[in-house]
Structure 1
Amino acid sequence: MTALALAPTEPRARFRDLVAAEWSKLWSLRSTGWSFLLGALAVVAFNAGQAWDHYRYWTSYDAASRAAFVRDGRALWDAFTGNAAMVLILWAAATGAMAVVTEYGSGSIRTSFAAVPARRSLMAAKALVVAVATTGFGGVVAGVSFWSSQAVLSAHGIGLSLGHPGAVRTVAASALLAPVSALVGLALGTLLRSGAASIVASVVLLLVVPAVTSEKRHWSAVLAHLQPERAWQRLLQTGNWEVPYPWTAGGAWLVYATWALVAAGVAILAVGHRDQ
């Protein structure tokens, strides 16, 4: 009677092991550290530069303009400017896209799928890593931007503290704009598998569409309010803002959450329906 030798079966990878592997994979690339550093410097520089501009020309403003600046809390707009938000969106979307596109380009994605047949679990781990890394990045640049911009303005006594109404929301909204954009980039990278195409699509979806929508008509205002970039603008608003079709800060937070969850879901589901 011959005994049959049974090959030992590999234990199924735990999700936390997949997350650890994806985290190591992200930071093993030399370009990752440089990308995070240069992105942070660019975002903070735009914000500090705007604050410096107001500091430098403060004495040339008339009394009414200076009073309005203080009354309306416009120092918060120096804490995170529109130009900085645009750079953050572009950086985060590109980071999210390249997290998956580089693997498709090098062919290493085949090795990953061979090692982990549960593709959706693997992509869920990648999405989580991208979200955590970019959330940390967003928190650092938003916090440093707030501190540096208000420190500059404080030289004229017009800087604000985190205790000022709307300050914490400004920092949080600016920080979370990063993971939302990164997950959109990840989803587009999974669908298109091309770095250039994914970045172009991200620009169109996250920046061009909000730019061409207007709040003067109801249908256009609804479309505008569904965009993350417009949600960020709404969350930075303080006081009474007169707009044709007003909406709430809660609605803006919901837009953030919806885009993040839908983008992650698209990336996770799409990878299970592709050959590689």
Structure 2
Amino acid sequence: MTPTTTQPAAVSTAVRAPVPRARFRDLLAAEWIKLWSLRSYAWAFGASALVVIGINISAAVADYKNWPTYNEGIRALFVPIWAMRDAFTIGASMVLILATGSIGALMMVGEYSTGQIRTTFAAVPARRSVVAAKMAVVTAVMVVYGTVVAGTSFGVTQAVLSGRDIGLSLDHPGAFRAVVASALLAPVCALIGMGLGALIRHTATTIVTYTGILLLLPFLLNDRHRWSSAILHALPHSAWERLVQVGDPFESAPYPATLSGSWIVYAAWPLAAAVIAMTAVRRRDL
């Protein structure tokens, strides 16, 4: 009888190396690629910029042509009030608000609608870091976008009006503030759109809600009553209107907005949107 020998089975004790955590700059690079991988975003930036600048230039050209027909009362008020309004018209601001807010919302909602957000969070479980990277990239892009649009609008419109000697220079009191406020309106609105997108997670509902709050609500309020003016002045569009106005007698209004209060509104809305987005992606399931 042949004796059998029992050999102990070899046990694999190989230890898997821990997967390194994604660095924040890697998340920024990923979100940058996501933003520009779709041509629709580039088209949205380009088309909206042309529309906004075109509306403002059209207003300046109209005033340039109609200047000989204006009476003395209009001419007395034109510089600086109307000249600045030509650079930053209400219609152009509404287009800018809608375009930038929609782009910001789609940057957040788009991944939820396609299901790509599951892959993203599986690769990077730190959800708040992903959202922070998204917001950082969108903020940087929107600052550049807003600066180009606001700077071009001011420069071209005032160059047109200078043909009648009614243009403003950048060093005119309040002019630089107006350009900065118009430039920052883009990232402010984009971040608000992202916050709503993270909370609602549905494209149509997000854009409708965003439009209702930022574009429709201001038309339902006035500054004749304290409660109404308080809500009105707390909205981004109303804050922008105060910041871009020069030479207007705001003190004559019953409850006028202040420059400091308008800047606070500019800071509070994006901060609130960031907090909402961070909380929503962490506490809610996909």
TM-score, structure 1 as length reference = 0.97
Which segments of 5 or more consecutive residues in structure 1 lack a partner in the other structure? none
- Equivalent residue for 1:109, pick from 106, 113, 117: 117
Q: Determine the structure 2 residue equivalent to 1:270.
A: 280
1:155 and 2:163 matched: yes
Q: Is the 8 A contact 2:175 2:246 kept in 1?
A: no
Which segments of 5 or more consecutive residues in structure 2 lack a partner in the other structure? 1-9
Output the CA distance in 1 between the equivalents of 2:257 and 2:192. Answer: 24
Residue 262 of structure 2 aligns with an amino acid whose one-letter code is A
1:215 and 2:220 matched: no
1:121 and 2:118 matched: no
Q: Determine the structure 1 residue equivalent to 2:257.
A: 247
Q: Deviations over 1:184-240 (max 9, x none)?
A: 111111111121111101101101111111100011111111100010011112233
Name the stretch that deviates more: 232-241 or 129-138.
232-241
* Aligned sequence identity (%): 51
1:93 and 2:101 matched: yes
Shift of residue 152 of structure 1? 0.9
Q: Is the 8 A contact 2:121 2:127 kept in 1?
A: yes
Looking at CA atoms only, which structure, 1 or 2, has the larger radius of gyration? 2
Q: Deviations over 1:9-57 (max 9, x none)?
A: 1111111211111111101111111111001001001110111111110
Q: Is the 8 A contact 2:84 2:245 kept in 1?
A: no
Q: Determine the structure 2 residue equivalent to 1:180.
A: 188
Output the CA distance in 1 between the equivalents of 2:193 and 2:235. Answer: 15
Q: Determine the structure 1 residue equivalent to 2:46.
A: 37
Residue 64 of structure 1 aligns with an amino acid whose one-letter code is G
Give the alignment's Cα RMSD to 1 decimal.
1.2
Q: Determine the structure 1 residue equivalent to 2:6.
A: none
- Equivalent residue for 1:166, pick from 169, 174, 186: 174
Q: Determine the structure 1 residue equivalent to 2:61.
A: 52
Q: Deviations over 1:158-180 (max 9, x none)?
A: 11110111111111111111111
Residue 274 of structure 2 aligns with an amino acid whose one-letter code is A
- Equivalent residue for 2:14, pick from 5, 19, 29: 5
State the SS of the aligned residue for 1:57. Answer: helix
1:20 and 2:29 matched: yes
Runs of 4+ more than 4 Å apart: none
Residue 250 of structure 1 aligns with an amino acid whose one-letter code is S
1:261 and 2:259 matched: no
Q: Deviations over 1:121-143 (max 9, x none)?
A: 10111011111111111111000
Output the CA distance in 2 between the equivalents of 1:178 and 1:18. Answer: 23
State the SS of the aligned residue for 2:246. Answer: coil
1:231 and 2:248 matched: no
Q: Is the 8 A contact 2:81 2:245 kept in 1?
A: no
State the SS of the aligned residue for 1:74. Answer: helix
TM-score, structure 2 as length reference = 0.93
Output the CA distance in 2 between the equivalents of 1:266 and 1:129. Answer: 18
Output the CA distance in 2 between the equivalents of 1:140 and 1:68. Answer: 28
Residue 153 of structure 1 aligns with an amino acid whose one-letter code is L
Output the CA distance in 2 between the equivalents of 1:192 and 1:118. Answer: 20
Q: Determine the structure 1 residue equivalent to 2:3.
A: none
